[in-house]
Amino acid sequence: MRARKKLNIGLVGYGFMGRTHSNAFRKVNNFFDVAFEPVLKCVCARDGAKADAFAKQWGYESSETDWRRLIARKDIDLIDIASPNDTHADIAIAAAKAGKMILCEKPLARNAYQAEKMVSAVKKAGVANMVWYNYRRVPAVTLARQLIGEGRLGRIFHYRAKFLQDWTISKDLPQGGAGLWRLDVKVAGSGVTGDLLAHCIDTAMWLNGPIDKVTAMTETFIKQRKHTLTGKVQKVGIDDASAFLARFSNGSLATFESTRYARGHKALYTFEINGEHASIFWDLHDLHRLQYFDHRDEGKVRGWRSLHITDGDHPYMKNWWVPGLQIGYEHTFIHQVADFLEGLDTGKMPRPDFRDGLATDYVTDAVLASAKSGRWVTVKKPK
Ligand SMILES: NC(=O)c1ccc[n+]([C@@H]2O[C@H](COP(=O)([O-])OP(=O)(O)OC[C@H]3O[C@@H](n4cnc5c(N)ncnc54)[C@H](O)[C@@H]3O)[C@@H](O)[C@H]2O)c1
């Protein structure tokens, strides 16, 4: 085991992601031999009693109710942003100015304008930064990237991604406030485009390179909802569903679709890639499998193979149990922390960093602009 230096964590937000991140910080040293040890120093949320309760349950040493105070603390090395999208830019820019390392939830910001400022801030401060696009670190998805990198698929023709949910179909569901901030455009920035498609886009560009152009359609099926904070019925500004066509720089064509109105689907994230020699299919509901078809197999036995990604030579798996036994969702966050800590030691920082987060925000901005104009939109690329 390597000697470990302590890395003091200041977490902002104790919701869904606050829990996945805390779990990852707590477990990483049990499974990965890295040169840093995350110390759960402080959790920050606006409600002091709830922040205290979270600190007690998860083993944080202290709590704060204002992220500015958290950033001002000398005993914090890293700010982890797990609060809603409208908070990311202000917290990250202040944290960078204070010289803190930053892990930020996705989407990087409400829009690319804010994300550009965040990229400039971390660049100027020279602080380590990463965005929690955790699906890159599902072992099956990491393996897909390795197979593509080895040239097994040959020239890529098609990329097809979907992210389907069904939790906002009721017209009685309010918008805004705890748990429902995703329906409030002022907080979320957009609907499924920034929330769900952002994941699909990040994975897609990681596997298949940059996206050049998009043409999109979006729809808001329920136009008005009561706002939890004002009590008034207000216009809904988010997209409930979003679908777009894309052209990648490598010449391949893509379709992306997301909705929260697909009855029966909870988190059906799937992608398929079709190349000259081989195809790959992955499904979040069956995340430890990768479907692989190779046309070069002998004809008699050619067919889709369902690879069970649990062997020691599969990405990350040697750190877990024995071959045949699966891991799941929480582990993607542990992998991200492990890679980040390894990067701090080697000086070779892992991706996705803020610049990659900005690249995704450029695509989501282009999707929303195209849905508005009805035209193809060229996607900006980070400088
Ligand atoms: N990587 C992923 O797969 C993934 C999954 C879900 C959410 N997310 C992202 O994570 C972020 C948080 O989402 P969530 O689902 O955890 O939300 P959540 O509603 O479960 O939790 C948000 C937390 O932020 C706190 N908060 C809100 N405003 C704050 C402020 N000003 N200061 C301090 N704390 C504040 C809330 O009290 C709450 O604890 C969002 O950006 C979201 O897009 C990413």
The residue from 117, 134, 151 where one domain ends is 134
User: Does a structural domain hold residue 383?
Assistant: no
Give which of 267, 23, 283, 287 is closest to 132, Cα–Cα: 23
* CA of 101 relative to ligand 1 center, distance in Å: 19
Q: Is the CB of 20 under 6 A from ligand 1?
A: no
User: Does a structural domain hold residue 337?
Assistant: yes
Q: Is the CB of 210 under 6 A from ligand 1?
A: no
* CA of 79 relative to ligand 1 center, distance in Å: 14
Distance of CA 225 to the CA centre of its chain: 27
Residue nearest to atom 5 of ligand 1 (CA): 17
**Residues 155 and 225 grouped into a single domain:** yes
**Residues 121 and 251 grouped into a single domain:** no
Residue 89 pLDDT: 98
**Residues 46 and 73 grouped into a single domain:** yes
- Tally of domains in the chain: 2
What secondary structure does DSSP assign to 239-270, as a single string? -SEEEEEEEETTS-EEEEEEES--TT-SSEEE
**Residues 92 and 187 grouped into a single domain:** no
CB burial of 180-207 (b: ≥16 within 10 Å; e: otherwise) equals: bbbbbbebbbbbbbbbbbbbbbbbbbbb
Q: Is the CB of 67 under 6 A from ligand 1?
A: yes
Residue 29 pLDDT: 98
Domain that holds residue 257: 135-378
User: Does a structural domain hold residue 165?
Assistant: yes
* CA of 276 relative to ligand 1 center, distance in Å: 41
Condensed to tens digits (0 to 9), the pLDDT of residues 173-194 reads 999 999 899 999 999 999 999 9
Q: Is the CB of 202 under 6 A from ligand 1?
A: no
**Residues 162 and 191 grouped into a single domain:** yes
What secondary structure does DSSP assign to 364-381, as a single string? HHHHHHHHHHSS-EEPP-
User: Does a structural domain hold residue 157?
Assistant: yes
Condensed to tens digits (0 to 9), the pLDDT of residues 34-55 reads 999 999 999 999 999 999 999 9
Is residue 53 within a helix (H) or strand (E), and if so which, with residue range? Answer: helix 48-58
> What whole-number distance in Å separates Cα of residue 349 and Cα of residue 181?
32
Residues in a beta bridge with 63: 43
**Residues 358 and 269 grouped into a single domain:** yes
**Residues 198 and 233 grouped into a single domain:** yes
CATH, residue 62: 3.40.50.720
**Residues 268 and 371 grouped into a single domain:** yes
The residue from 134, 153, 175 where one domain ends is 134
CATH, residue 144: 3.30.360.10
User: Where would I find the H helices in 126-184?
Assistant: 139-149
**Residues 215 and 88 grouped into a single domain:** no
DSSP structural state of residue 175? B
> What whole-number distance in Å separates Cα of residue 296 and Cα of residue 319?
32
The residue from 134, 158, 193 where one domain ends is 134
| Ligand 1 atom nearest to 179, measured from its CA | 19
**Residues 196 and 93 grouped into a single domain:** no
Q: What is the rounded (10 degree) CA torsion for 115, 121, 127, 129?
A: 0
- 173 phi, psi to nearest 5 deg: -70, 125
Contact 9, 76 (CB under 8 A): yes
Mean pLDDT within 65-80: 98
Q: Is the CB of 100 under 6 A from ligand 1?
A: no
User: Does a structural domain hold residue 111?
Assistant: yes
Q: pTM here?
A: 0.98
Residue 1 pLDDT: 87
**Residues 268 and 201 grouped into a single domain:** yes
Condensed to tens digits (0 to 9), the pLDDT of residues 271-305 reads 999 999 999 999 999 999 999 999 999 999 999 99
Q: Is the CB of 105 under 6 A from ligand 1?
A: yes
Among 83, 133, 190, say which to mutate for ligand 1: greatest number of ligand atoms within 8 Å of CB.
Answer: 83
Tokens of 208: 């298949």
**Residues 16 and 143 grouped into a single domain:** no
- 114 phi, psi to nearest 5 deg: -65, -40
